[in-house]
Structures are given as structure tokens and as C-alpha cells.
Structure 1
């Protein structure tokens, strides 16, 4: 397996080339500059195409251009979309496009599992703030032996066609069929695929470390942290420093604290009404909510760890 990046599509967010012998898959990621209207799903589209030119052929019909996507290409688009979508943060509404097509096909090594890993690498190198990197692998079984990324000829004799994708800690997608295998064999195949995916992820993370990329909304996150620290709600050390240095802000508050006139008691939060004045909108409401939730989650996670450690001395 070979991976390359940064040779083409310099105007896009990121690009990844992944090859299996002479089968090469190109994958690029582009993200919109402004968020779309909030909805109940992440606006991501995946396009996968196997062009005739990849095999050194051309259409024999009157129309030489590539037509609409074939059923197999649509299914591969879904294989790429399904493991990537759960890694996206909730509330991120920037339209994202993943474009993947086969540059070269040798007729031996199937490019669909290669496309899944290429999309995971391209997404990791882009500004899209996905939580984890994914990788894909195909597992076959010939003569009771598992074969990783089998060739098309080997797949004709295989009793199993298992397509998997996931992160280093979870399996996000399983697709395939088998010829009346036992449950134990299927579990062994899944474990084998997870181990191979872990090896692929190690290589992908090495590429990510060599090519660091600033994720979207990171500047806004720094702005939110700065505002919260200036107002005294949280300090930067509580988000990045050691757990032992966390300030116990909630426990320091007096339960019988007197609420001043003009304030509204909302549980542990005291809100002072302010006059509404027209102001210039620096960031969209969706972005602010998304980043504020991320900062709050970081703070709460650290406080939970500190509380559990203080309650149970054996931890």
C-alpha cells in the first residue's frame, strides 16, 4: 500500500492518493466557507467514479463522455459516507464534498476498499473538524484462511466478502456476505479486519502528524476560551493543564448566596438583563453554539475525572 498527498487539487482542503499495486484512487475534500442553514443532518456529499480511462479503455458508443453513476459506484459512495458521518461533530453545518475517483485500475486489486481509506486520510488532512480518522479493509476467506484485501481472482473462490471500516477504537461500518459460515468464524474475521484497520490508521496518523492542518472553528474556540477566561468563568489551565490544578468553582459557591436585584436566578447561573443594542455579528450563532458546547464538554470531562479520583482513592 502506498499513500501520497499534496500533488494535485491544491485549491481544495486536502488531497490523498492511495494505491494498491497498480490500482490508484484519488480523493479530495472541499468545505464551504460559510455554514448552511441548521438542519438535522450533516451536509456532506460523496462522489465516487470508476472511469473507463482508469483501465485504459474508452466508450465504444456514440457518446464518449462518462454517464451517470452506476449502481456499484453509488454503493461505494455509501461505503465512504457511512463510517465518516458519525465522526463529524454535532452542529457542524459547513457543506462538505468528498470527490473520489479511480485514477488507475489494474483489473486485479479492487479499488473500493482503497477509496474508503483514501477518504479517511483526506478528511484527516482537511480543515473539517472530524473527531477521528477512519480506514477501510476487505476480508476474504479461502481454504479456512483469512485473506486481507484479496484480489478479484481470489474473491471468486472466497467464502466471505467482508467490508469493514472504523477507527482505532470502534467499528463504524460492516458490509458483506458469506457462504454459511459459523458465528465464530465471522467474529474472527471482524477481529482480523479491526487489527488490519488499526495498522492502516497508524500509517494515516503518521501522515497527519507530518502535515498538520488547522481545523475549522479552532480560531473561534480560542476566542470563546479567551472570553470565558476574561469573565472569570473558566481558566485556560482548567482545559489544558493538569487535572490536579482544576479550580472547584461550583463547590466554592455558597448555597444560600443572595441574588442581587436585577438578576434572574436560573439554577446555578445568575443572568443579568442587559439592554439590547445593535452590534456587528462577528460569528454565526451556529458556530458559537458548536464551539461553546465543545469547550463546555472539555471542562466537564476534566471535572468528572477529578471528582471520581477524589471520591475513590484506589483510582
Structure 2
């Protein structure tokens, strides 16, 4: 019934297996990739007729994690997988980016890739496995895909690169000082197509070495996919790239001069209007039949690309008049908003980000429910891209894939310089509002985020800046561009984002729109990016050279104290009664964890001290020989019980009330009376022994033997 075909190799620390022919046979291709005990199924379907009127390739990639894969039931009331998690969205983008450029130009058939995590061993991350499965399925499907691609995750420990480190090793690099890199690289046999990473101030040489290492290590995977395809691939789909050379010649003749004049305008809004006018000039010169040609959009884009790319390669001058390595003018400001905890406005050319930092307590940490288990994050970065930032009126919706991806890139760049949670017990939320955009808004979020946190008083290890690099590649001629514009990104061959400190790289993201780039081009891009990054850091330093020493008056103050773990129950009380009383009485927020670490938060220092005192009274132990002020709470025939330390009571025996004979305790004390007592010790049953007669009741000082005499 099944024509099942399998291939396996030993790869890194585990076995990688690809299998097809048994499950999801009505898809154009379906492959299950298994690494260790992590299995991901990728199913590919593409329509056999093109989408009319599309001037882009309608490819969608969906990566989905099923909780049953790890033997879990989803949390919450709904109890089923709902909207994509951040991890699912980011992995969908991760798979899309290297495969999209490898489809034959002109292919406009709707194509869908669905990757489903079927099993997760909690050791091998499914994202790399999913990308391999998707590559294999596309290679088998018969679609005009110029793959396959391979993929690998790379770690960096003690100067050595590690292939596919375990999930546990990569969880929260901030908490794992040995692991300095989490890098995912994808590529073809000959070239790198995509890089995504977070790092701890690695040098350019170390990052380049990691990329090369990953590309070398993925080669056996590519060979295995080709071997599988030799037996299981379908006949190639009959598709030829459309020939619109005649139409392009007419478009070029009618509009090249106007298009060249339009791209000579440096202001973005004026240039956009002039480009639109040039398009109308072209359309006016075409026949009705040519206007209805479905390749007209492609011909127009080719003309724009030819003008922009050709001028850069010939003259070394860019759209806005800059040379290849100059960064646009920068204005950085900090402390703009009066009520926020920290704020910054970072403007680079026509790209601008208003970035705001908010400090919170442990109650504000993000709870993440994932396949590998529940975790908490005390650092969040959210990126917003409203339509007015590009001069448009558009729908306002929740964050899309782009917003989530750009926010995560900025998060990766900044998390490497955050202080340890034990040193800075705050939850940090950074929000980047992109108020203007003309290229590299994610890197503006990095720069503004660094300044904003410094303005809030977050003790960063070092400021972080980011810059986006571009590439124009025509045969053997190429130009690497520093700080690219939106048009240079749209019409260029590479989007290469590098962020870091003066000492090294903290994040690198690379997307290639051609069939990969050589190591020498990447090396030049990294060197040029370092110069740009250092220039931007210098400009940022003019606004704020180091973090502020004081918090905003509106930010919470958090202080920590430690209590013995056997005292945690006493601080919390039955049903939380005691800790609620502390919060209500002091006005401070109190949070205690299982290790006995207590965080006390309030904008008011007096509230913090009051809460600290109440907690200290609960957990501290009275010291023998110390003198305390207590209150008589009960009188018996044999003495009086005095509450002298927090909620601790002790007995003052009638013989310890006075140096003179006492007939009855009521002759000396009354209930509610304040008295001075000395802790004499504890009896055999652990009960407290107090004395009043050795303490001067008026001064609170101990009476010496000579004074008694």
C-alpha cells in the first residue's frame, strides 16, 4: 500500500532520518525528518496554474508545534493550539527566508509549506529539523525549486564551534556563561542563504568562522536530500520563466530617462512621487495590449532595479548621494517623555524610532508556555510599525510576522548586555514605536532601545548599536552598501544586519536574494559594518554616554533580601495571610521565590523599609543577651508573658520581675504595658526565658552587679 523510502545519516551527536511515501500522500510532497526523537513533517502543495495579477511569488510557510509532541496539554481555558506563538512565527520566517529566493524567477503559482512538529525529545530544537524537512519536501515536489538547502545550528564554547547543541544548552544564553553563540545558518551546496544569531560580543572573525563551520556541516544533509530525491522525486513541473524582453525594451525606452531623474531625488516622499510619475509616463507610451500584459509589473521593477543598481556599480554613488560606506546623519536624544521610566528618540536619515523602557517587578515577567516546558522572561522588546511611518493610511491590526521578527532581532541584539537578574531584579519592557521608516528600522530599535534602557537606569554592560548592510551583485562586480535605504533593500541582493558593542557582535541576521554570496563578500560586509557600528555608537554617546545613576521618580524601587527556606512558609502565612498583611500595611509589593529570595518593590523608600522590617521581624531569631522592648500580653500567677520580638512571646517569671520580693505579677505589670526585657536563654523545651530585673526600665540599659548591690 505504501511506497515508503528512507534515508539516514549520522550527523553531529544523533541520527538524522528522512522518510517519505507513507503519510500525507495527497500533498505534492511530504517528508518526515527525525533527529534523535524530534520529528517534523513538512507537506508541500503548489497550484498548477499561476495567480493572475500577482507581481510577487505567493509563498506561505507555516510552522506549527503540537503540544502532544512533548506529551503536554496546552495551558489556559481553551486547551487547544490557537494563534501562532512567537516561536512558531519566528520559525516560519526562518524557513521562508532561505527558500523563497531559490524558486525560478517568474514563478507565481501559489505555494504552501506546512511544517508540523510531531515529536519533541526536549533535546533537539525542531526548527532546524523543520527546515531540513521543508527543503526535502520541496526538492521532491517537482516545483521549480533550485535547492535543496541544508541547515545547522552552531554554538561556541571555549573557542570551539559546536554542531546542533542541545535545547537546554541554548535556553537563555544570559544564564549560561560558557555558551556564547546561538546561530542558525542555511544554504545551498555552494553558498550561504540565511543567517540568524544571538551572540555575546563575538569578533567578526569568530562570527564568520561560525557561518563557515555551519555551511560545512550541512553538506552531508544536502547530499542525503539529493540521494532521497534520486529515488522519490516527482517529475519537474513544466515551467519556463516568462520571456518579456520585448516588453521590457519598450518600458526601458519609454521610461529610463524619467526613472533615472526620479531616483536622483534624495527626499523619500518626493522620490516616491517621481517614481510613480515615471511609471505613468511608461504606461502612457504602451499599447492597450501591453498594458494588460501580466509581466508589466516585473518589467517596471526590472527597470527600477537596473537604474539604481547600475548607477551604484558605475559611479559608487547611491540614491541619496552617499558613497558606499557613509552612514546617514544621526540625531540621538534621551529622556524625552516625562512620565515614562526611560525614553529615547533615535533618528538616522529618514528612519526614526521612539523607544520607551518600562521597569516592573517579578509579577510582570512573561510566562512562556512552550513544548520544552514553562519558563519566564524578565526582558521583552516589542516593535510597532504604524502605517503613518511610511506616509500611508492603512489598517491597524495586531503584530504581524514582520513586527514579531524585527522585535526579536532587536531583543537578540540587546539581551547580551543586560545585567544578571540577581544584580538587577527588575522586569524590563522596551517598546519601539517606528515613527518614520526608510530602511533599517529594526537597527534603529536596537540603538534607541540601548539609549532608552540607559535613560531608565538599567546598568547595561555596554551600549549597543546596529547597522543594515546591502549588496549589489552583477556577475563578478559587486558593491557592499552601509546603512541601506528602503529602495536599496527592495532592489538589492542582500539584507545583512549587524548589531553589537565596541567589543563585538551581539546579533547578526542575513538574508540573500540571489544564490548566495562568497566568504570574501561576507568578510567585507562585516568589516564595513564594524566601522558603521562604531560611528553610530559615537553619535549615540553624544546623547547619553552611560546609564543614569538614578531611576525615574515614577519607576518602582526593588530591593532584595534572603530568608532561610524553612522560613518561607512563615512569611507567606496560611493562605497567604501574612504576606497580604505586609503588602497592605507597608504599601510595597512583595514577591518571594522557592529559594527564599524576596523582592520588595515600591516607588516609596519608606514603604520598602517598612516591609523589610516586618519580614525581618518574622524570620529573624532573637539573640541571647540582647535587650528588647516588649509588651505584656498575658499575666499568670507565676509570671507574665511578654511579646518582645515580632510575634515571639516569652515568660518573665515572677522571680525575674524585680530585685525585691513580688507577691503577684500584677503588683509590678499590667496587660498592655511596655517593658524592657533581656533574653536570658531557652529552657530544655525551647521556651524563652526573659528577665526584667536586670534591665533599668526607664533607660533600657542593663543593670550591673554593682548597681544591684
User: Rg bigger for which structure?
Assistant: 2
Query: 2:101 — aligned with what?
Result: 86
Query: 1:198 — aligned with what?
Result: 219
8 Å CA contact 1:18–1:115 kept in 2: the answer is: yes
8 Å CA contact 1:2–1:20 kept in 2: the answer is: yes
- CA drift of 1:87 comes to 0.3
- CA drift of 1:58 comes to 1.0
- CA drift of 1:285 comes to 7.8
Distance (whole Å) between structure 1 residues aligned to residue 19 and residue 77 of structure 2: 36
Secondary structure class of the residue paired with 1:185: helix
Query: 1:217 — aligned with what?
Result: 238
TM-score (norm 2): 0.31
Secondary structure class of the residue paired with 2:41: strand
8 Å CA contact 2:142–2:233 kept in 1: the answer is: no
8 Å CA contact 1:109–1:151 kept in 2: the answer is: yes
- CA drift of 1:2 comes to 1.2
Alignment of 1:119-198 (within 5 A): 119-156=134-171, 157=176, 158-198=179-219
8 Å CA contact 1:165–1:174 kept in 2: the answer is: yes
Query: 2:284 — aligned with what?
Result: none
Alignment of 1:243-282 (within 5 A): none
8 Å CA contact 1:38–1:93 kept in 2: the answer is: no
Secondary structure class of the residue paired with 1:201: helix
Distance (whole Å) between structure 1 residues aligned to residue 65 and residue 155 of structure 2: 23
Q: Number of residues paired by the alignment?
A: 225
Distance (whole Å) between structure 2 residues aligned to residue 60 and residue 217 of structure 1: 47
Distance (whole Å) between structure 1 residues aligned to residue 230 and residue 59 of structure 2: 25
- CA drift of 1:22 comes to 0.7
Distance (whole Å) between structure 1 residues aligned to residue 88 and residue 74 of structure 2: 17
Q: Is 1:69 equivalent to 2:84 in the alignment?
A: yes
Change (3 A) 1:38 1:172: farther
Alignment of 1:88-127 (within 5 A): 88-127=103-142
Distance (whole Å) between structure 1 residues aligned to residue 233 and residue 80 of structure 2: 38
- CA drift of 1:126 comes to 0.3
Instruction: Spell out, residue by residue over 1:210-232, the C-alpha distance to the aligned partner (whole angstroms, 9 max, x if none).
Output: 213111115x79xx9xxxxxxxx
Query: 1:311 — aligned with what?
Result: none
TM-score (norm 1): 0.68
Instruction: Spell out, residue by residue over 1:150-171, the C-alpha distance to the aligned partner (whole angstroms, 9 max, x if none).
Output: 1012224320111111100111
Distance (whole Å) between structure 1 residues aligned to residue 224 and residue 37 of structure 2: 20
Distance (whole Å) between structure 2 residues aligned to residue 19 and residue 26 of structure 1: 9
Change (3 A) 1:4 1:117: same
Query: 1:29 — aligned with what?
Result: 44
Distance (whole Å) between structure 2 residues aligned to residue 53 and residue 34 of structure 1: 37
Secondary structure class of the residue paired with 1:131: coil
Distance (whole Å) between structure 2 residues aligned to residue 110 and residue 202 of structure 1: 22
- CA drift of 1:25 comes to 0.6
- CA drift of 1:188 comes to 1.3
Distance (whole Å) between structure 2 residues aligned to residue 173 and residue 153 of structure 1: 24
- CA drift of 1:31 comes to 1.0
Instruction: Spell out, residue by residue over 1:243-288, the C-alpha distance to the aligned partner (whole angstroms, 9 max, x if none).
Output: xxxxxxxxxxxxxxxxxxxxxxxxxxxxxxxxxxxxxxxxx987xx
8 Å CA contact 1:38–1:91 kept in 2: the answer is: no
Flag the structure with more relative contact order, 1 or 2, with Cα contacts below 8 A and sequence separation at least 6.
Answer: 1
Distance (whole Å) between structure 1 residues aligned to residue 77 and residue 184 of structure 2: 36
- CA drift of 1:62 comes to 2.7
Q: Is 1:208 equivalent to 2:229 in the alignment?
A: yes
- CA drift of 1:24 comes to 0.5
More strand by share: 2
8 Å CA contact 2:123–2:168 kept in 1: the answer is: yes
Secondary structure class of the residue paired with 2:201: coil
8 Å CA contact 1:140–1:148 kept in 2: the answer is: yes
Secondary structure class of the residue paired with 2:78: coil
Distance (whole Å) between structure 2 residues aligned to residue 148 and residue 179 of structure 1: 18
Instruction: Spell out, residue by residue over 1:155-211, the C-alpha distance to the aligned partner (whole angstroms, 9 max, x if none).
Output: 243201111111001111000111111122111111111101222101111111121
Distance (whole Å) between structure 2 residues aligned to residue 128 and residue 196 of structure 1: 26
